[in-house]
Structure 1
Amino acid sequence: MNKNDLLAAKSAICAQLLQLGLGGQVIGKRATFSVASAVASASRNVHAVGIGKKVSTNKKSSEDCVRIYVVQKLPRSLMSPRDVIPESINGIPTDIIEAEPAFAFAKKKPSKAKKPAKPKKKPAALAHATDVAGTTSGTQAPQRPVIGGISAGHRDITAGTLGCFCHSTNPGDDPDQLFALSNNHIFANVNQAILGDPLYQPGPGDGGGFNDYFANLQRYIPISLGGLVSNRVDAAIGSPLSSVPVNPVIDQIGTISGTLTVKEGMKIRKQGRRTGYTEGVVDDADMTVFVGMDRNDTSAVAKFENQFRIVSEDSRPIGLGGDSGSLIVHRTQDKAVGLYFAGPDSGEYGVANPIDFVLQDLEISIP
């Protein structure tokens, strides 16, 4: 099957169904037991469209198709003709997949809520050798030297994950300096931060505060909200303080030696602040998806194009709140393939930016 034909069919579906989903505030929708309510919102049910293998009787086939992700899958017999998605478009098969909408996995600290209680005694920092990954027991604790795969974040959010350390290719930066890589919504609070703002390790939601200041926000890629303008990365870097030691390894994974282009079916792994070390597989390598950027405001939606979807191969969630910013790494090679940034509350799947986009847009290199 010609890839250009797949992409053309995907584009045609996005133009109609994603626009309807945006107008129907699909990010705020959940599956309902009310048949009448489900049927009434059927035309505004789509939150993502991708390209992958068609699923039949809960098993993946070898047939490529355009995959349409809906909040609730309904029998065709209940739907009006205008709401029925064709089984094929210009000869390209379609597949309807029921899945919860994705949210960015972090949130702002409530302005009037109590600050998280700090433990009476902070956990001891873990020591890490350059070529040895650490343990998940310290992912939410202060660690010096600072490494990848652990809690960090802007002072005005809860907490996310510091993905890894990188170098800048921007001519104005020191090429030998290490920078911390994570998401915009982790290090820049969804465009609300000011360059130079303090970043904490661990993040504020894990007790991080004044004494845990480890870096300054160096730069980020702004996220266009509203769902009309496409984004391709949720990414930012921080510049560690000269007084804070860092070690360019990722907890449980080790040193990263380069990058790979993501492919459907690729086996991957990640290390995050919440779920620790998890393994999965790339389920969809070219997805256009609406992502909720603020759980308290369902209108704060961003559209991301050419993303990839990952799923677990066992019963564990592939990622949960606090894992945003994790680096997605090839399962058997120490190569980065993406930057994790969103998923549903269930953790049944995750959404990541292809690493090439992150490197190009932020002007960085790994290692």
Structure 2
Amino acid sequence: MPTTQDFEYLLECRNVIGVDYDEDEREVRVFVSRKLPPDALADEDDVEKRVREVGDADVTVDVVDAGYDEEREGFDALSTLEAVPEAAAGRSDRRRPVPAGASEANANLTAGTGGPYPARVTGDGDALWDEAIEPNDLVRLSNNHVYARSNAADLGESILQPSPHDGGGPNDEVGELVGYVPVEDGVRVDVAARSVDPERESDRYAELDEAWPTGVRRDAYDELRGETVTKTGRTTGVTSATVEATSASVAVEFGAEQGTVRLRDQLIAGYMSEGGDSGSPVFLEDGELVGLLFAGSAQQTICNRIGNVERELGVEILLEEPGEDDGADDGGDEENGDDAGDERDAPVYTTTFATDLEVALEGPILELESLTFDEPPRPRSRIGATVVVTASEPGSYWLEVADERRTFDVPDPGAGGDDLRRAVAVDIDVPDGANDVFSVAVAGGRIE
């Protein structure tokens, strides 16, 4: 039976930038940068004639306009565009802990989106990895062209959140480039990984249901044709579209240095992205993770199959952050009780306060002395906030807000100093059913 690759010869035709074959419908869908009438095309550029010439007389041809209105060699890799649109509200903010879907990119790029986390390195695949990375290490994913600058970056380059275009600088580094799959003809993914500090990372996906991802789809992608998918990204926030193709071969422009690259096995949905959304995670309506967004046009959005991302990079995307016993063997001698030393050295979290704050949903909220929001809270939103705490003396402390715990140090203010206050940035989910008020659980204390 024919497959999409059997129709890749159509990519040689004028304006053709993508093809996909639907075996069930015996239909080849051809994506063109500009749709022209048959009498404006030479015979070698007429896709219907080309299909008939190779003997597929019973195959239906559907020509789809990508909306460029000009002749092009490929779709756009969305974070290689020179003119990156401004980010959606809140997506260009500095976020700690870092959620997926926020502005994030290589320090030498413009802007992109941080993708799935946590992903655990398996050691499989043919990706290029930093020698310091070992199986079971955790990483965050995005596109090669977002983290690795389309193969041009050196391992170890800084990744910033927010992206440079959104004001990110040296103090906003959240990790380093530690691995990627090279972008080259015939590849199935545009993916890279950065290092993480788990205490500064969130396994949440900005503005999406906190239970997502409910699963990771690793097969049966042909069943997705006609399904609705949703992404969360830096530029256009949360958007949805219908899947139009599930095994597409596409030509994508990666900029002057890398040129046009052919990728296979791609998902194509309708419009739901713009420049800077590259790296966005893509979900089904039930929260199953299905794709990693990387390219598109004014009419289409192109995503890697997430199963290919895992296999070719050599990672496993986890549904939640692993517990203390889920990591790699620490090398301790169980027979001799060496592991006990880790327990004795673990920090002890002593509670010195725990309270619930009632927060008004209407009107100004910056008058709150210990908790201020970046914007007025609205039901079903995830917003940034700042909690101000005062320590009794210098030391290490912990703060837990809405079940997310982080640690910090309060330095000695110096001789004669009395400023032991600390402002801690947090993210807070406003519940769907909130009416006039909602509760935010806040707790904290010293680490002894």
Indicate the TM-score class for this superposition, using the shorter chain for normalisation. 0.7 to 0.9
> Partner residue of 2:7?
13
Contact 2:81 2:275 (C-alpha < 8 Å) held by counterparts: no
Is 1:66 the equivalent of 2:28? yes
Contact 1:157 1:186 (C-alpha < 8 Å) held by counterparts: yes
**Matches of residues 157-236 of structure 1 in structure 2 within 5 Å?**
157-171=109-123, 173=134, 175=136, 177-224=137-184, 229-236=185-192
> Partner residue of 1:292?
253
Unaligned segments of structure 2, at least 5 residues: 69-73, 124-132, 319-448
Is 1:269 the equivalent of 2:230? yes
Distance 1:12 1:108, change over 3 A: closer
Contact 1:179 1:237 (C-alpha < 8 Å) held by counterparts: yes
Q: Which amino acid aligns with 1:231?
A: V
> Partner residue of 1:359?
310
1-side partners of 2:244 and 2:268: how far apart?
A: 6
Contact 1:147 1:251 (C-alpha < 8 Å) held by counterparts: yes
TM-score by length of 1: 0.73
Which of the two has greater helix per residue? 1
Q: Which amino acid aligns with 2:290?
A: V
Contact 2:100 2:117 (C-alpha < 8 Å) held by counterparts: yes
Q: Which amino acid aligns with 2:263?
A: F
Distance 1:140 1:77, change over 3 A: same
2-side partners of 1:97 and 1:167: how far apart?
A: 35
Contact 1:52 1:264 (C-alpha < 8 Å) held by counterparts: no
> Partner residue of 2:15?
45
> Partner residue of 1:281?
242
> Partner residue of 1:105?
78
> Partner residue of 1:309?
268
CA shift, 1:109, in A, is: 7.9
Aligned length: 288
2-side partners of 1:97 and 1:236: how far apart?
A: 30
CA shift, 1:256, in A, is: 1.7
CA shift, 1:258, in A, is: 2.4
Contact 1:257 1:366 (C-alpha < 8 Å) held by counterparts: no
1-side partners of 2:58 and 2:26: how far apart?
A: 11
CA shift, 1:76, in A, is: 2.4
Contact 2:91 2:237 (C-alpha < 8 Å) held by counterparts: yes
Q: Deviations over 1:283-305 (max 9, x none)?
A: 111110000001xx397111101
CA shift, 1:108, in A, is: 8.0
Match of 1:323 among 277, 285, 295: 277
Distance 1:45 1:356, change over 3 A: same
CA shift, 1:82, in A, is: 4.0
1-side partners of 2:93 and 2:274: how far apart?
A: 18
Distance 1:193 1:71, change over 3 A: same
CA shift, 1:83, in A, is: 3.5
1-side partners of 2:161 and 2:94: how far apart?
A: 6
CA shift, 1:334, in A, is: 2.2
CA shift, 1:198, in A, is: 1.0
Match of 2:214 among 249, 257, 261: 257
Partner of 2:8: helix, strand, or coil?
A: helix
2-side partners of 1:366 and 1:65: how far apart?
A: 33
CA shift, 1:338, in A, is: 0.6
Distance 1:164 1:11, change over 3 A: closer
Is 1:77 the equivalent of 2:39? yes
CA shift, 1:200, in A, is: 0.3
Contact 1:68 1:95 (C-alpha < 8 Å) held by counterparts: yes
Q: Which amino acid aligns with 1:328?
A: V
Distance 1:74 1:170, change over 3 A: same
2-side partners of 1:79 and 1:105: how far apart?
A: 29
CA shift, 1:280, in A, is: 1.3
1-side partners of 2:313 and 2:258: how far apart?
A: 27
2-side partners of 1:14 and 1:298: how far apart?
A: 24
Is 1:342 the equivalent of 2:295? yes
User: Which of the two has higher C-alpha Rg?
Assistant: 2
2-side partners of 1:108 and 1:216: how far apart?
A: 23
> Partner residue of 2:202?
247
Is 1:95 the equivalent of 2:62? yes
2-side partners of 1:80 and 1:178: how far apart?
A: 53
2-side partners of 1:168 and 1:298: how far apart?
A: 31
TM-score by length of 2: 0.60
Q: Larger deviation: 90-99 or 353-362?
A: 90-99
Percent of aligned pairs sharing the same letter? 30
Partner of 1:160: helix, strand, or coil?
A: coil
CA shift, 1:52, in A, is: 4.8
Q: Which amino acid aligns with 2:149?
A: N
Distance 1:78 1:223, change over 3 A: closer
Distance 1:95 1:319, change over 3 A: same
Distance 1:214 1:70, change over 3 A: same
Distance 1:366 1:257, change over 3 A: farther
2-side partners of 1:252 and 1:103: how far apart?
A: 26
Q: Which amino acid aligns with 1:13?
A: F
1-side partners of 2:155 and 2:312: how far apart?
A: 17
CA shift, 1:197, in A, is: 1.3
Q: Which amino acid aligns with 1:359?
A: E
Contact 2:101 2:280 (C-alpha < 8 Å) held by counterparts: yes
Distance 1:169 1:276, change over 3 A: same
2-side partners of 1:213 and 1:80: how far apart?
A: 52
Q: Which amino acid aligns with 2:246?
A: A
Q: Deviations over 1:183-234 (max 9, x none)?
A: 000011111111111110001010000110111111000111xxxx311100
Partner of 1:325: helix, strand, or coil?
A: coil
Is 1:141 the equivalent of 2:93? yes
